[in-house]
Amino acid sequence: MAAHQSVNSPSELIAAIDLGSNSFHMVVARLVQGEIRTLEKMGEKVQLAAGLDSRNNLSEEAQLRGLECLGRFAQRIRGMDRGTVQAVGTNALRAARNARQFIHRAEEVLGVPVEIIAGREEARLIYLGASHTLADDVGRRLVIDIGGGSTEFIIGERFEPQEMESLHMGCVSFRNRYFPDGEITARQMDRAVTHAAQELLNIRYRFRQLGWDSCVGTSGSIKAVVSVVEETLRTSSNGGISLDDLKLVRERMLELGRVDRLETIGVREDRQSIFPAGFAILLAAFESLGIERLSFADGALREGLLYDTVGRRRHEDVRERTIQALQTRYHVDAAHAAAVEETAMAAYSQVAIAWGLDGPEFADLLRWACRIHEVGLTISHTQYHKHGAYLIRYSDLPGFSRDAQTTLATLVRGHRRKFSNNIFHAIEDEDEERLRRLSILLRLGVLLQHAHNQEPPPPFRLKPGKRRLEVRFPTGWLDQHPLTRADLENEQDYLSRMDYKLIVGEAD
């Protein structure tokens, strides 16, 4: 680091923001010689999930609570490079029908993109955060994270997850269902534990078959239980908590009978209403999975986001591995995909600025779409672009948000044949035009490599306009490639239906 640079200069800072179902959290850190050093942590109980009505719409009051919190976060990250801040929404925003409305408002407040991540992507990031804050031991570990609306279970070894699952149960949803009036009775507790055990049936056999050498819990609900074990039993939990410890805590809670009396056993006031619900889920996990002991780890989703950001900046992007895995799984012709990518990127470099695509996110999307545009061939050659779009949209793709998967699926869906507005129906209005233009570049790359002979791209020249694209080839090239000329004529017709004019000719 140069001597004149401030150690807190924006270029060195990274941040992660977690828009959780119960709380919003932010961590700001500095990257120093490859190590992440936390500078500041902020968190507020927003209780976003509590604002979901019977139709799963977020109330205006809940949205305002979230936006006010994000306004305070925004002040701390002001001036930071957008690429160094990751903000993600989890279960409450996955469930909310009007999530897009809230995301737009949140992005205006924060000044950075907010992505809604799938449950298994949340699990991957939780494991990444936990594993980086634990000793680098040999052997498998089970990581459990009880959130406001979902609970994640991950088995992994060192920094690589092997099994991941996100179950639809959390301390806020269970609180609302089983402890809404603040009473803690044996019947309510048993019903909550039984419900959680039923959810765990989905993973019980698979996880117990794989097995683990150690078990770790993360985030607030499990941290609160560990603290209560220490307070109630007057013993250190450094060696982990056991099922017997949890049974004793259960007895003490039933004796107290109400959440507003839980302070007696060391539960903070802001966590009292959700404590019995989180406890019930943890107790069910112990009993269903046969957990002997569980220790607590500080790292979770936010820390995982930080390490994910660092990986992207070091070109160790998990998304690249995901694309490669898709190519392998669906037997993609990698040589042809590389030829399409080279051709499409040659076109992209000529139009990126004029078409408003001059950002690394657009280049990445186009490259990835080129590599996986033929994944649907593993199902059928007929309408394989539609099969590929389905596979990409509904698969678990580590590193990709739901919106990013939808965007990739749309590009694959539109890379051949008809080009219509129906292809872009799932895309936000403000993104639609740029995605159309990316699709045109992908279509051009596929068209010019139609022969599958992996030739380098011809030395074509592009001249972009608002709703037009002029393509010029070397003199005589089109005469030597009559099939390509025919494909380009068909493409002129396809694009005209979207009010785009494709002009094809030879260089002057």
So where are the chain's domains?
A: 10-117, 120-300, 317-458
The answer to whether the CB of 498 falls within 8 A of the CB of 422 is no
The mean pLDDT of the chain is: 91
274-328 pLDDT per residue, tens:
999 999 999 999 999 999 999 999 889 999 999 998 888 777 788 998 999 999 9
Q: Inform me whether the pLDDT recorded for 81 exceeds 70.
A: yes
Topology match between the domains 10-117 and 317-458: no
* Beta pairing, strands 35-45 & 140-146: unpaired
Positive or negative, the CA dihedral 241, 244, 250, 252 is negative
Q: For the residues 125-132, what does the mean pLDDT come to?
A: 92
CATH superfamily, region 317-458? Hypothetical protein af1432 (1.10.3210.10)
Q: Inform me whether the pLDDT recorded for 3 exceeds 60.
A: no
Highest average pLDDT, of 119-128, 136-145, 397-406, 456-465, comes from 119-128
Q: Inform me whether the pLDDT recorded for 235 exceeds 80.
A: no
pLDDT value at residue 11 = 47
Topology (CATH) of 120-300: Nucleotidyltransferase; domain 5 (3.30.420)
Number of residues that make up the chain: 508
Q: Inform me whether the pLDDT recorded for 72 exceeds 80.
A: yes
Distances (CA, A) of 468 to 10, 369, 436, 471, 500: 40, 22, 12, 10, 5
270-281 pLDDT per residue, tens:
899 999 999 999
Positive or negative, the CA dihedral 271, 276, 280, 282 is positive
Given CATH 3.30.420.40, say whether it is the number of domain 10-117.
yes
The structure's pTM equals 0.85
